[in-house]
Structure 1
């Protein structure tokens, strides 16, 4: 019998939180983990002291399993190797590594050899089969997802195709999951749990800018578009965002439209930047990249991370596995 997500990651509820760069800070990751699900902090391009600061905060903020999300195609192989080395050296074994996109085999070997739990988000059947060879929890991302898109398949089609080829692999569905009913549909397609991104963008603990949160809760799926205009910092990858004046008029000049701060360092934000507007961002927020999945139609208000997790717990597998994990945790996490 294949493991549930809860058993595979040592948590109580088979919900993974997307490690969204900028939005998924340590407050959100720790709140999700404290609620019994798998929280995840966005590592994005952080290195050296900046990454060490984040790792120290997330490990101090919860004694439960929590993840660090890294993006191979954004940082390149050398910096990814440095990021992985830092995570392995500076965090306890309960911290799992999550990759958005398939890293090189040597990276997967290194994580597995270190005894860490491994999560890999993919957008194609080929990449999912490859990641499964390392015993990864495979996150199947459909085009319903907000943010950068790793493939061209719909969520349930990709899940079903992977389940047929990988009967013993722990599969997670990502994309368009904003309600328990939608999670149940993903489970029926063959998933063992769900990854939530947009639902956590509007969590109290999210670092998304207030305008971003309000825009998500006011939107429906028809208000999102798939585009490639927000390419500065992350070129060559389509992304689903809320429609903005920039997506409607992509021929505008690429001038600076705002400022932001990342781990204490100030940055200018150009039009077409891939950076999301956070609570440390000022300027023309309405023109910035507000990543948003089709799930936004099910999200009408800002909620705590714990309430988000609790809303999905009843439909996710499975009570016996959850009780087993609770028993394990009671003997020391």
Structure 2
């Protein structure tokens, strides 16, 4: 018997919010979780006092299932170990661990031993099988997704291939899901729930810069491109973004084009930085990394996180799912 995402994580709606670094602060994560889905804060490179601050806001903002997203390949094993230690020590059991990409096996063992749910986003069948066999909820990311890409498969093809190999695993579809109809297609391919990113970029509670939000709501999928130009801070991964003057001309100088603030610390933003423009960012927003999935075709206005969740509630498998 397989369980729905809602059953596994204790959600009212089988929907996860992507833990987008910079964009997904505690306000967005808590709003999504309080609406009955699985919110997720972006941990990215935060550690020590900065990570503690966001964890405090997260745990005071909701007592429902909510996640903290960490990125093994960006921070490396030692820094991931520090981040994970903080999450497990400073948060209660309703907080699950979300990983973008595969960690070492010791991380699976540590999270499971702590009694926490683990959600791992993958881009290949092999990684999905490995994660599922070690107790994780598997998020199958297709190339329709915005942001960094973990594989080369279309979403529903990856979901179907994973379902064939893992008939009882909890599999979540990610990439290009901006409407209930698209969520239904993902479920028909074998998913037990869906993960949304772009739809939450434009939520009122998102920390995305207003120009970023406006660009997403005005775009359709033909305005997105897969590139590797925004590589400062995160090398070696292709990413889907809105086309910009930077994607059109990657030979421009790598000079500073803006400033931002992360948990009280100021940073300069160079051209080709992987950092997204947030409410704390100034400068040439239109040249920065505007991560955006093909789902933007169905995302036409800013709305609340709760309204996004409500729009998908009727089509996603909930506690009633119990299929072979």
Q: For this structure pair, what is the TM-score category when the shorter chain's length is used for normalisation?
A: over 0.9
Q: Are the aligned partners of 2:12 and 2:318 in contact in 1 as well (CA < 8 Å)? A: no
Cα offset for 1:321?
6.0
Match in the other structure for 2:201: 201
Structure 2 unaligned segments of length 5 or more: list them: none
State the distance in 1 between where 2:290 and 2:317 align. 32
Find out whether 1:4 has 2:4 as its counterpart: yes
Q: Are the aligned partners of 1:6 and 1:321 in contact in 2 as well (CA < 8 Å)? A: no
Find out whether 1:184 has 2:184 as its counterpart: yes
State the distance in 2 between where 1:320 and 1:155 align. 24
State the distance in 1 between where 2:49 and 2:284 align. 30
Match in the other structure for 1:162: 162
For 1:77-96, what aligned pairs fall within 5 Å after superposition?
Answer: 77-96=77-96
State the distance in 2 between where 1:321 and 1:9 align. 14
Q: With the length of structure 2 as denominator, give the TM-score of the two structures.
A: 0.98
Find out whether 1:275 has 2:287 as its counterpart: no
Match in the other structure for 1:284: 284
Cα offset for 1:142?
0.2
State the distance in 1 between where 2:319 and 2:21 align. 32
Q: Are the aligned partners of 1:129 and 1:162 in contact in 2 as well (CA < 8 Å)? A: yes
Instruction: Deviation per CA, 1:18-41: give whole Å up to 9, x if none.
Output: 000000000000000000000000
State the distance in 1 between where 2:319 and 2:231 align. 43
Match in the other structure for 1:330: none
Structure 1 unaligned segments of length 5 or more: list them: 323-333
Q: With the length of structure 1 as denominator, give the TM-score of the two structures.
A: 0.96
State the distance in 2 between where 1:271 and 1:187 align. 39
Match in the other structure for 2:223: 223
State the distance in 2 between where 1:125 and 1:23 align. 28
SS in 2 for 1:320: coil
Match in the other structure for 1:103: 103
Instruction: Deviation per CA, 1:267-288: give whole Å up to 9, x if none.
Output: 0000000000000000000000
State the distance in 2 between where 1:308 and 1:98 align. 21
Task: Kindly report the root-mean-square deviation, in angstroms, between the aligned alpha carbons of the 2 structures.
Answer: 0.9
State the distance in 2 between where 1:218 and 1:137 align. 33
